[in-house]
Amino acid sequence: MFWRMRVHMLGGLTGLAALAISLPVQATDADVMKGKGLFDENCAACHQEDAIGLPGTAPSLANPELLGIASDKFFESTIRDGRVDTGMPPFAHLGRSGVKAIVAYLRASQKLPNRSTEVDAQPEAHGDPRLGKQWYDYICSTCHGLAGDGYEAGGTGTAIGKPGFLSKVSDGFIRETIKKGRSNTRMRGFSGANGLANLSDREIDDIIVYLRSLPKQ
C-alpha cells in the first residue's frame, strides 16, 4: 500500500515538474531593465524611444495588436537575424540573453493577452495568387510597395514581400494583421464594416498566397 502511494505521489510530482517546464519563464525586473538598456543602445535610433516606431523608417514594436499575436520566437529570431535587404541588421552579437532581455522589455508594455499560439495554429492559406495580386496592388502596394519592398521602395509600410519576414510569420499572423490592422499606426484593418475594405476570408487568403509567391518571382 505504501509503495503504491509512493509511486502515485512520484507520478504526481513528475507531472507537476513537466507542467512547470512547459510554463513560460516570467521575466524579472532586472531582465526588463537590461532589455531597456540594450534597446536604447541598439534599437531606439530607428524604432524610437519607447519602441513607438517611425513611419518610413521602422515599425512600432510597442503596438498592442503586434504584441498580442507575435510570439517570443518571432521577436527573438528577427532581432538575431535581422531582415536581409532592409534597414534591419542582425543583432546576434548581443547573445541569447541580450536578445531575450530586449523581448522582455517589449513585453513589459503589453496590454492584450498573447494569442500567438492560437494565431500560429490557424490553417495555412489556400487561394488564388492572381486574385491576391489584384487586391495587393489595389490596397497594399500604396504603403508596402508593388513588390513588397516596403521602406526601400519609398513606402510607409514594412517589407512584407521579403523572405526575412515571410520565413518568420505564420499565415495566421498575416491573416490577423490584415483583418484587424495595428492601432495608432498607418496599418488599418481590412475586415468588417469598419475596415478600409471589407475583405472576405477568401480574399484575405488570396493575398497571403500571393505574398508567399513574391520571393520566388
Which one of 70, 86, 115 terminates a domain? 115
The reply to whether 39 and 87 lie within a common domain is yes
Domain interval for residue 44? 29-115
Using a pLDDT cut of 70, give the percent of the chain over it: 88
In sequence order, what are the beta bridge partners of 157? none
Kindly report the CATH number assigned to the domain that includes residue 38.
1.10.760.10
Does 84 score more than 80 pLDDT?
yes
Does 2 score more than 70 pLDDT?
no
The reply to whether 74 and 142 lie within a common domain is no
Task: Tell me, yes or no, whether 4 lies in a domain.
Answer: no
Confidence of residue 81 (pLDDT cuts 50, 70, 90): very high
Mean pLDDT of the chain, nearest integer: 88
Residue with cell 480574399: 203
Which one of 115, 134, 162 terminates a domain? 115
Does 111 score more than 80 pLDDT?
yes
The reply to whether 78 and 145 lie within a common domain is no
Give the pLDDT score at 26: 75
User: How far, in Å, CA of 182 to CA of 121, rounded?
Assistant: 21
The reply to whether 88 and 134 lie within a common domain is no
Mean pLDDT of all residues in 180-184: 93
The reply to whether 123 and 160 lie within a common domain is yes
The reply to whether 106 and 146 lie within a common domain is no
The reply to whether 128 and 212 lie within a common domain is yes
Mean pLDDT of all residues in 61-76: 97
Task: Tell me, yes or no, whether 16 lies in a domain.
Answer: no
pLDDT tens-digit map of 134-146: 999 999 999 999 9
Confidence of residue 107 (pLDDT cuts 50, 70, 90): very high
Give the pLDDT score at 25: 57
Confidence of residue 216 (pLDDT cuts 50, 70, 90): confident
Give the pLDDT score at 46: 97
Cα dist from 144 to 11, 44, 62, 130, 208, whole Å: 54, 22, 20, 18, 14
User: What total of structural domains would you count in the chain?
Assistant: 2
Task: Tell me, yes or no, whether 104 lies in a domain.
Answer: yes
The reply to whether 80 and 101 lie within a common domain is yes
Q: Give the closest residue to 36 by CA, choosing from 88, 112, 104.
A: 104
Task: Tell me, yes or no, whether 128 lies in a domain.
Answer: yes
Does 19 score more than 50 pLDDT?
no
The reply to whether 100 and 128 lie within a common domain is no
Task: Tell me, yes or no, whether 11 lies in a domain.
Answer: no
User: What is the sign of the dihedral through the CA atoms of 26, 164, 45 and 181?
Assistant: negative
User: How far, in Å, CA of 156 to CA of 147, rounded?
Assistant: 14
Task: Tell me, yes or no, whether 88 lies in a domain.
Answer: yes
User: How far, in Å, CA of 53 to CA of 50, rounded?
Assistant: 8
Does 151 score more than 50 pLDDT?
yes
Give the pLDDT score at 21: 35
Q: Can you say whether residue 185 is alpha, beta or left, with left for phi > 0 and alpha for psi between -120 and 50 degrees? A: beta
Residues 181/59, Cβ–Cβ less than 8 Å: no
Q: What percent of the residues of the chain are helix, what percent strand, and what percent coil, each to the nearest 5?
A: 60, 0, 40
Give the pLDDT score at 136: 97
173's grid cell: 499572423
User: How far, in Å, CA of 98 to CA of 119, rounded?
Assistant: 26
Which one of 92, 115, 138 terminates a domain? 115
